[in-house]
Amino acid sequence: MALELLSVSKSKDSKHRHSKDKFVDFHVPTGLNLLEDTEYASQAAMWGIEGLPELGEIYPIGGAGDRLGLVDSDTGDSLPAALLPYCGRSLLEGLMRDLQAREFLHFKIFGKQCITPVAVMTSSVKNNHEHIVAICERLEWFGRGRENFRLFEQPLVPVVNAEDGKWLISESLLPVGKPGGHGAIWKLACDRGVFEWLYCHGRKGATVRQVSNVVAATDLTLMALAGIGLRHNKKLGFASCERRPGATEGVNVLIEKQNFDGLWEYGITCIEYTEFEKYGISEPTATNDSLQASYPANTNILYVDLQAAQEVGSRKNASCLPGIVLNLKKAVSYVDHLGFECSAAGGRLECTMQNIADNFMNTYSYRCSKGIESKLDTFIVYNERKKVTSSAKRKLKSEDRSLHQTPEGSLLDIMRNAHDLLSSCSIEVPEVKDNNEYLHSGLPFIIFLHPALGPFWDIIKQKFIGGSISKGSELQIEVAEFLWQDVELDGSLIILADNIMGSTKRNTDGEQILHYGARCGRCKLQNVKIVNEGISWDSPINVYWKHHVERSESLKIILHGNAEFEAKDILLKGNHMFEVPDGHRMCIIQDEAGFVVKLDPISKEMMDSGTWYWEYTVDGAHVKLNMVDL
C-alpha cells in the first residue's frame, strides 16, 4: 500500500479512493447550526444528557505529540501529548473533568449516578501507555473505579523513505516505528473486545474527542451531537465549525457519487488536508473566494453508533482501516543503526478514524436534490469555532508569527469563551483582542471556571449575575454549588474545593468511588467587592497556559469536605486566605473595623445536602435552577 500511494504521488495521477466511480462531486454539508437554531440546540443537548447512560466515551490518545517537544524535567525523556501540564493539570485530566461535569449535570437533573465507561487507545511511543496508566493510578482512576476504563494499545507502523519507499532502520532488523493514525481504533477495538465491553455497560453510542482539543466540551456542542445521534439512530456524526484558511486540518464534505451501476450514493465524510490536491480542493485565499472556502473544518469530534462501527472494524478487508493516506510532507528525525542522528523525507501509512464515514453511504436509484442530509445515516452540527476546536498541538517558537495550535493560542480561546459567557451574565469583562496582540505578552485576564458549574452556559448564567472583572484580574472557581451576585473583582480570587461535585467512599474492592451530590463544598458571594494586587504580570516565571503565575496578593478560599463559605455586602481588600474545615460554615460579616469571621458547625441532618443547594428542573428544552435554602 505504501509503494502504491508513493507511486501515485510521484506520477501526479488523480487516482484516489473514489476512482471506481463514474461521477464524484463534493458539496458543503448542511446541518444543525447551534448558534442559529438555539431552541433545537438546547433540546438536542438535553437528549444527550438524558441519554448519558447509553453513551460511552472514546479517547484516541496514542499520538506522539512530537511538535510539543514535551520532556520530563527530571529524566529528560520525551513525553506524550496527554501529559502536557495545561492550566494546572494534564490534558488527560482535563478530559475527565469535562466528562464528570456532564455526569454531575445528569445527576442533578435525574437524581441518578451515571458513570460512563471510557475506552482509551494508547500506544508504545514515548511510553505513552505506561504514562497513561500511571496518571490513572495516581489519581485513583478519577474516582470511577478501574472497571470503568479499558486501555488498548495501538500498534506502530514502519516509516518509509519518500524517495524509494524503503523502511527507515534504527537498529539492525528494526524499522523506525510511529503510530499509524487514529483510524486503527475501530479494528483494534474489535480485536481487543472493546465494543463487547461497552455493550456490557449498556452502551449504544459513544462520543469521541482528541486529547489536544481543549474546548471540545464547551457549552452544548458535544451533548447536542450525541443527542441527535441517539435520538435519530444515526451511525456517525461530526461536530464542525468554520475552517481557518491554511490550517493543517481537513474538511467535512457531502459526497455525491454515481457508480457504474447507475446508483447514487450520498454521505457526509472527511477529506484530510494532505489530500486536497489529489481531490482538486484548492486552499481558499483572500482573492480566491471559491465554493471550497465554505467547506467546514473537520475537528475529529464524533458521535458513533457502536454496532455500526463494530461492523466496519470486524471486516476482513481494507475498509476496516479507513482513509489510508501516506503523508510525506514532514521530515522524519530518527537515530539510525549506527547511532547517528538522521533526518529524511519520509512518512508512514496513516488511517483516519473519521473516514469510517465512507462506509455509511446511503444509496438511491436516482439523483437526490438539495437537503438530502436529513435522511442520511451521517450528520453534522455546527458551532462557533472557539466553542468547537482549539488545540494545544505544538510548542510556540520565538520566531513564530502565529499562535495557531499552540497552548498559548488555545488559552486565548478559553478566555474568549469566558468573556462571552460572563458578559452575557451582565458582568463587565475586558475584551480579548486578536492573537497578534498577545503573541509575546500577557493576557487581559485569567478566568478558569470548573465545567461542573454548567457545563451548559444556560445553567452557568443562573449562577452568575452582575458585577465586574477588571483588566489584569484572575478568577478561578473550583466548586459547582456556587453563587456570584454583584461581585466586583479587581485582583485575584481563587476558590478551591476538595469536594467539587461530590465525595468519595471506598467500595468493596477498596477503590475510592465518587458519589455525585454528596457532601459538596459550597460558596455564595453577594454584593462583594474584592481588591488586591493579584498577579505580578511582569514576573519572568509566569507561564499562563500552565497557570503557573506569581501573585503579589490574592483572596483564596479553600473548602475542605462539605465546607461552606458566604460573604455578603462587604469589601475584602488585600491578601486573605479563608480555609474552612470539613463540616463547617464560614460567614464573613462587615463591621466598623473591617470584617469579622463567623465559623459554625453544619448540623448533622444537613451534612450531605448542605445548608443550601441548587435544585435543577427541566423546563421544556432548558434547565431551570432554584436555590433551596435549608
Average pLDDT across each block of 10 residues of the chain; the chain has 630 residues. List them in order: 82 55 87 93 97 97 76 78 90 96 97 96 88 94 95 91 88 84 93 97 96 94 97 96 83 92 93 82 54 77 97 93 84 83 87 94 91 93 94 81 85 96 97 84 92 97 97 97 98 97 91 94 97 95 93 97 96 96 95 89 93 95 95
pTM: 0.93
At 15 the pLDDT is: 44
| Pair 453, 482 in one domain | yes
Please state, in angstroms and as integers, the Cα–Cα distance from residue 569 to each residue in 39, 528, 558, 580, 587, following that order.
Answer: 37, 6, 20, 20, 11
Is 398 part of a structural domain of the chain? no
At 11 the pLDDT is: 64
Distance CA 558, CA 550 (A): 19
Residue bearing cell 476538595: 498
State the SS3 of 357-392: HHHCCEEECCCCCCCHHHHCCEEEEECCHHHCCCEC
| Pair 230, 375 in one domain | yes
| Pair 419, 379 in one domain | no
Distance CA 490, CA 554 (A): 10
| Pair 419, 347 in one domain | no
| Pair 510, 575 in one domain | yes
At 278 the pLDDT is: 79
Domain count, the chain: 2
Domain end call among 337, 354, 387: 387
Is 394 part of a structural domain of the chain? no
Strand pairing category for 481-490 and 522-531: parallel
| Pair 480, 336 in one domain | no
Tell me how crowded residue 562 is: count the other CB atoms within 10 A of its CB.
28
Rg (CA), the chain: 26
Q: Domain span at residue 248?
A: 2-387
Nearest 10 degrees: Cα torsion 233, 235, 241, 242: -130
At 283 the pLDDT is: 66
| Pair 287, 317 in one domain | yes
* Average pLDDT value for the chain: 90
Distance CA 97, CA 117 (A): 14
Is 85 part of a structural domain of the chain? yes
At 1 the pLDDT is: 87
| Bridge partners of residue 205, in order along the sequence | 55, 305
Domain end call among 387, 417, 444: 387
Q: With both helix axes pointing from N to C terminus, report the angle between 91-110 and 38-50 in degrees, rounded to the nearest 10.
A: 90
Cα 40 to its chain centre, rounded Å, is: 23
| Pair 358, 428 in one domain | no
| Pair 325, 453 in one domain | no
At 292 the pLDDT is: 44
| Pair 326, 429 in one domain | no
| Pair 373, 443 in one domain | no
- CB of 574 within 8 A of CB of 553? yes
Is 400 part of a structural domain of the chain? no
Task: Please report, for the domain that includes residue 264, its CATH number.
Answer: 3.90.550.10
- CB of 298 within 8 A of CB of 354? yes
Is 302 part of a structural domain of the chain? yes
Q: HSE (CB half, 13 Å, CA atoms) of 508?
A: 0
Is 401 part of a structural domain of the chain? no
Strands (E), 419-507: 427-428, 446-449, 464-469, 474-478, 481-490, 492-497, 502-506
* Cell, residue 574: 488585600
At 533 the pLDDT is: 96
Is 545 part of a structural domain of the chain? yes
| Pair 66, 165 in one domain | yes
At 277 the pLDDT is: 79
The amino acid present at 174, given as its one-letter code, is: L
Is 393 part of a structural domain of the chain? no
